A and B are shown apart, each in its own frame.
Chain A
Amino acid sequence: MTLDDLLSQPGAWLAPGADTATVISSRVRLARNLRDSAFPGWAGEEECEKIWRRLQPILQGLPELAPAAVFGMADLEELERMILFERHLISGEQAHKGRGSGLVTAQDESISVMVNEEDHLRLQAMSPGLALQAIWQRMHALDHAIERQVPYAFSVKLGYLTACPTNVGTGLRASVMLHLPGLVLMNELNPVLKGLTKIGLAVRGLWGEGTEAAGNLFQISNQITLGDREENIIRHIEQIVLEVVEHERNARARLLERKDLVLRDHVGRAFGILTHAHLLSSKEALDLLSGLRLGIDLGIIKDLDRLTVDRLLLLTQPAHLQKREARSLKPKDRDRVRAQLVRTQLS
């Protein structure tokens, strides 16, 4: 399977059928390390190369990842690595790595393993909608399948040992991507975000650590990985997410009730600009697509479906745009091509 084959599919977190009005997608990742090697950041390129050569065939042969696709970071152009990043298959850190680092993913992108990112193994599973429990089960099975062939770095006291102490213990990070335009427009988001931070959850932008929140999209994840069972961590996040979803639903109801005109203006402007603009920056596109998405969910816009908008969230990203055009584009040219793509897709 090549990168072009990946591009012909919608992405693991963009599938039809799931209830994705507020929870766009769920993701679970496990950090694991080999017992007999230094962690990737300290091991050096030679050692990382050895580890990648050892792990790649093992991972490729696992039924849990079959049929698998393999991407060595050194074999990819920068643009291609950015595509994997925009599809949430690799992290920003791995996108800048070369020899000795790679990705083995199920061809449908729903479950994958990054090799030699910050840890030797980063297992991750994604699904549209709120489905943490289900993907945790898949992840658990993959974890077991790998550990049968590779002894993990583990201590009775500290659990799974990771390069960064923030991940030690379960090595588990569960996250959900939420679309919260109702809370933002009602000016009620800040207390919710503060509450989440207070109970030990992290809130980030769409592309994870260090990214700003655009398009009213937020990622919520656990920060604590030591001292609690995996099932409890997952259950806790699901419970909290359901509460946030309830807040968002109430905010949307109040928007319709009290600020109907403001809401219709917001949605109408988003639709108008998206269907008529000739230059669209990445951030502006995300923000406007968020307004359009809200309009579809509230029945204000009737001739479009949410999946069309969600696909655009991905296709308007810089690397996806350039790959589509089969050439490298300057930011200004990207804005032109982006606007053109959006106009065509929404007409």
Chain B
Amino acid sequence: MHCEVCQEHEATVHLTQIVDGHVRKINLCEACAAKSGLDMKGPLSITDILLGLGGAKPAEKPERERVCPRCHMRPSDFKKTGRLGCMDCYATFAAELAPMLQSMHHSSQHVGGIPAHEGARVQLTAEIAALQQALEKAVAAENFEEAARLRDRIAAGRRPPGAGPAQEPA
């Protein structure tokens, strides 16, 4: 039997895996098994082996550091000082910050006070989300009259303040 990866050498490593009740088998030569980082100790996915991703370390690509587009802080700067550069850093480095915030605060959502100037906008966002939910329900229940009414309310909520009423469709 030939190795299923190189199709050249004799397969000496036979791996059986049960995924969702289906038995999958793969046969590899020693070289390909070693290349895929197969160490028999840990669980390994056949797909990973076939894709050559086994337990082997991913190739070290020199990943270019992301930079905050506004203040030009890099993650390495943050690591050095423990402080962020500007408010946009929270969005730029959201992936790194999320687990950190979770372990510091055991939470990832602010529930405290809101600045007055944000208040109206934030409240409106929450209201529109609720209306959208109601709209989906009305459509599902084929209550089109209610759905149209909700659609208009959502449209009114999204218009910038001071703008006139929506144009009637021609």
State the A residues within 8 Å of B (CB).
33, 35, 37-39, 41-42, 118, 140, 143-144, 147-148, 151-161, 163-166, 168-170, 172, 223-230
Q: How far is the CA of A128 from the CA of B96 in the complex (A)?
A: 41
Which residues of chain A are within 8 angstroms of B86 by Cβ–Cβ distance? 37-39, 42, 153
A165, B104: Cα distance in complex, Å: 9
Across the interface, do A38 and B85 meet the contact criterion of CB distance under 8 Å? Answer: yes
Task: Digitize B92-105: 1 where CB-to-A-CB distance is under 8 Å, 0 elsewhere.
Answer: 00000100110011
**Can you offer 11 A-B residue contacts whose CB atoms are under 8 A?**
A42-B71, A42-B85, A118-B83, A151-B117, A159-B113, A161-B90, A165-B104, A166-B104, A170-B110, A227-B106, A227-B111
The answer, yes or no, to whether B62 is at the interface (CB within 8 Å) is no
Main secondary structure, interface of A, reads loop
A165 x B106 contact (CB < 8 A):
no
Known contacts A38-B86, A156-B122; A147/B115 CB under 8 A? yes
Residues of A within 8 A of B117 (CB): 147, 151
Chain A residues with CB under 8 A of B113: 140, 143, 159, 170, 229-230
Pair B85/A39 contact, Cβ less than 8 Å: yes
B interface secondary structure, majority: loop
Q: How many angstroms between the C-alpha atoms of A157 and B87 in the bound complex?
A: 13
The contact of B83 among A154, A156, A163, A172, by CB within 8 Å, is A163
- The answer to whether A154 and B115 touch across the interface, beta carbons within 8 angstroms, is yes
Interface pairs A-B: 9 shortest CB-CB: A227-B107, A159-B110, A226-B105, A153-B87, A42-B85, A170-B112, A38-B86, A163-B83, A161-B87
Q: How far is the CB of A58 from chain B (nearest CB, A)?
A: 15
B112 x A228 contact (CB < 8 A): yes
Indicate if the CB atoms of B87 and A226 lie closer than 8 Å.
Answer: no
Q: Which residues of A contact B73 (CB under 8 A)?
A: 42
Q: Can you name 10 extra interface pairs (CB under 8 A) apart from A38-B71, A225-B105?
A: A39-B83, A42-B73, A155-B90, A156-B110, A158-B101, A158-B110, A159-B112, A164-B84, A224-B107, A227-B107
Q: B161 near A: Cβ within 8 Å?
A: no
Residue of B nearest to A200 (CB): B106
Q: Say whether A155 contacts B87, CB under 8 Å.
A: yes
